[in-house]
Structure 1
Amino acid sequence: MWKHIAANGISLLIVLLIAVGGMIAWGKAQYEAPGPLAQAICLRVESGSNLRRVSEELAGRDAVKYPQILRMGADYTDRSDKLKAGSFLIEEGSSMQDIVALLTGDGQSTCGTEVVYRIGVTGQEMRVRELDPATNRFEVVTEFDPLAGAAPDLYADLRSLSDTRYRIAVAEGVTSWQVVEALKGADFLAGDVADVPPEGLLAPNSYEVEPGTLRQDLLGHMQEMQGARLAEAWDNRADGLPYDTPEEALIMASIVEKETGVPEERRQVASVFVNRLREGMRLQTDPTVIYGITNGQGVLGRGLRRSELQRATPYNTYEIDGLPPTPIANPGLASIEAALNPDSTDFLFFVADGSGGHAFAQTLAEHNDNVARWRAIEAEQETSSN
């Protein structure tokens, strides 16, 4: 009898073990399988939250079917106590394994609110935007100039959220003075700036920053990036260029940057100035004259006067030979590369063509024809605007 009972007990234990093993295998399969989420969502995890609360919210938003399995999987992989605060983009069909890795990993928030402070040639703008999970594109919520007046209440509310992200976007062609002045309006940064960095040495780029980042440290990072860009481009430069140092190449890059906003033209514009230097011609470029007037402190806001074109300054390339003494702005990477690898052309002249670009010419006669066409376009535009 006891043998019979023992045999039945062993049989029952085997059945139970098989059932448990089957449940574990099923649970593991559910944990790793694509989830039910039909459209991406942005999940906000509050500071101090826990995995139970988060898993139940995920279940309520149809991102997971079995929140208990998500918690067990996190426990099994020792991730339950690594939940991070932030806003996270949960892609459609994400498995529970993917979601746990996202919420407990080392990365930063992947969606939610982002504050982008844009520093441009003609001004600055604080832009608050939200990621639309459905399109994976940012939508602008509000925008304002922080140096022109009080910020909207919405901005102050978002500043209080711990997972709001911040970015400084510096446009190509801004001067170092403009960058330093604009950074005073970034209230999420800290510290003063001792001196305006030398012209040309700040890399136009988009920089993600943490609240409390020192302005001086950010400027240092910009200088390091520009130095690295210039060094690499110099190492890969074309042969026979009419400048001897990376610093001279940076001056040329800044002139190219200010002369055209059309990406496809940069190497052509660079070729014109390189050809002029080779021929011993003066560069005769208005942006250098303007810099000599403003010292890079703001925008001139009007056309150049004849007296200014004839006034001798270190930056008046109608009066001086060769390059001006310093860059006239902070050029982007494309302009640096154009200055060091210009197109091979015979162009010596260019003028606006009315389309936003320029008409290039090899001879003065061709250039004069292009200038006449441009004057006619200007006159027509002036007539139509009156």
Structure 2
Amino acid sequence: MKKTVVVLSIAVVALLIAIGGGVAYLGYTFLNTPPNPEANEVVYEVVPGKGFASIAQELEQQGLVKNAMFFNLYARFKGDRSKVKVGEYLLRTNMYPTEVLATIISGKSVARSFTVSEGLSTYEIADLYQKQGFGTAVEFLSLVRDPEFVKSVLGEQQESLEGYLFPETYMLTKYTDTRTLISNMVKRFLRVYDEVKTDALVQGWNRHQVVTLASIIEKETGAPEERPRISSVFHNRLLRKMRLQTDPTVIYGKAESTGKIEINITRSDLLTPTRYNTYVIYGLPPGPIANPGKEAIMAALKPETSNYLFFVSQNDGTHVFSEDYKGHNQAVQRFQLDRKAREGKSWRDLKKRTASPTSQN
């Protein structure tokens, strides 16, 4: 880097000599001496509409260049004054002026991570988006339900983008808008789904059906090894024309009217008809209830072979499975109605173990 600086300096000095030898010497020194030997980090923001002279002054005030006038003159000589891009830039006080200028014209803003976990609904993602200061929940939810926007990014008309916002960590700058984030999330989903769509064709399911079932599977278990078995229960019930009777669909149905996800549900909620309440309706709900990851999508397409029709929580994030109602009742008595079976247990226990990659009998 030093060699490059010297070469550039010679060119600038040639310009400055025309002004005066003393100024040339100062310019050469300016370009080859960082403001501070210590590498203190400073996030400097170039805001829209700010002129280069003002930027140079602020850089000097923040100890990022030694002389605003020389920095301005250097940028003019390079023809880079008009190339500065809006954004937040990570600079250091020991950077050479050439490095500072190269950074603020690069457009490579400071990026912050936005992590979307598997199984979050659009309501929850929107809330997370707002809490982390990237934008508003209202704008996020409005976009994921905008018919024209949905069709433009998904390639088909759906009621919303629920289920199609792929869970992953996205890097966002201060100037990444909501539309861009959502578009990137859907693009990621489309790439992932493209890897499994052949299996969907074999099953005879359309994409929306696959994602809907995958979203239910994702919400029903946090144990990766259970997904294919959970899937087998739902496939078996669908084949027998039984109601799916899954609590997360009830929760989502309530959210349609309240605008937020409420974890706790009552017996009355189970009996209250909504479009999503699978205790009331038969078959799949009209759409996904969350945004599933790839493994849940694969589980929806490749269920474990079983005769299971029921499952009940063991209070630690895993479930016990039954083939008939009698076995299911026994499991309920053992794990749900017996208070001692719940003491000291939590679904958070899943985080304390390493999940097995295969189902266990």
Check whether TM > 0.5.
yes
- Residue 247 of structure 2 corresponds to residue 286 of structure 1: yes
Q: CA deviation at 1:79?
A: 0.5
- Consecutive unaligned residues of structure 2, counting only runs of 5 or more, are 1-16, 115-120, 147-156, 344-361
* Pairing of 1:1-386 with structure 2 (within 5 A): 30=32, 36-45=37-46, 49-65=50-66, 70-91=71-92, 93-107=94-108, 109-110=109-110, 120-121=123-124, 124=127, 127=130, 166-167=134-135, 179-180=141-142, 198=159, 201=162, 203-204=164-165, 221=183, 225=187, 228=190, 231-232=193-194, 234-235=196-197, 237=199, 241=203, 243-260=204-221, 266-277=227-238, 282-288=243-249, 294=254, 296-298=256-258, 302-305=265-268, 308=271, 317=278, 323-324=283-284, 326-334=286-294, 337-342=297-302, 344=304, 346=306, 348=308, 349-355=310-316, 357-361=317-321, 363-364=323-324, 367-368=328-329, 370-371=331-332, 372-377=334-339
Provide, for residues 206-239 of structure 1, a one-character-per-residue CA deviation record: whole Å limited to 9, x for no partner. Answer: 797999x8x9x78995996598368525425378
TM-score by length of 1: 0.53
CA contact (8 A) 1:43 1:89 kept: yes
Contact 1:282-1:318 within 8 A present in 2 as well: yes
Whole-Å separation in 2 of the counterparts to 1:366 and 1:90: 64
SS of match in other structure, 1:120: helix
Alpha carbons 1:201, 1:330 under 8 Å: kept: yes
* Cα deviation 1:134-161 (Å, max 9, x = unaligned): xxxxxx7xxxxxxxxxxxxxxxxxxxxx
What's the RMSD between the two structures over aligned residues? 5.5
Q: Is the 8 A contact 2:63 2:93 kept in 1?
A: no
Deviation of 1:41 (Å): 0.9
TM-score scaled to structure 2, two decimals? 0.56
Q: Say which structure is richer in strand.
A: 1
CA offset at residue 204 of structure 1?
A: 3.3
Q: Which amino acid aligns with 1:283?
A: L
Greater RCO structure (CA 8 Å; 6+ sep) = 2
Structure 1 unmatched ranges of 5 or more: 1-15, 130-139, 141-165, 171-177, 185-195, 382-386
Identity %: 23
Cα distance change on mapping 1:219 and 1:353 into 2, 3 Å: same
From the two aligned structures, give the one with the greater helix fraction. Answer: 2
Deviation at residue 249 of structure 1 after TM alignment: 0.9
Q: Displacement, 1:45?
A: 3.9
Say which one has the larger Rg. 1
Cα–Cα, structure 1 residues 302 and 201, in superposed 2: closer, same or farther, change >3 Å?
A: closer
Q: How many residues align?
A: 296
AA at the equivalent of 2:194: E
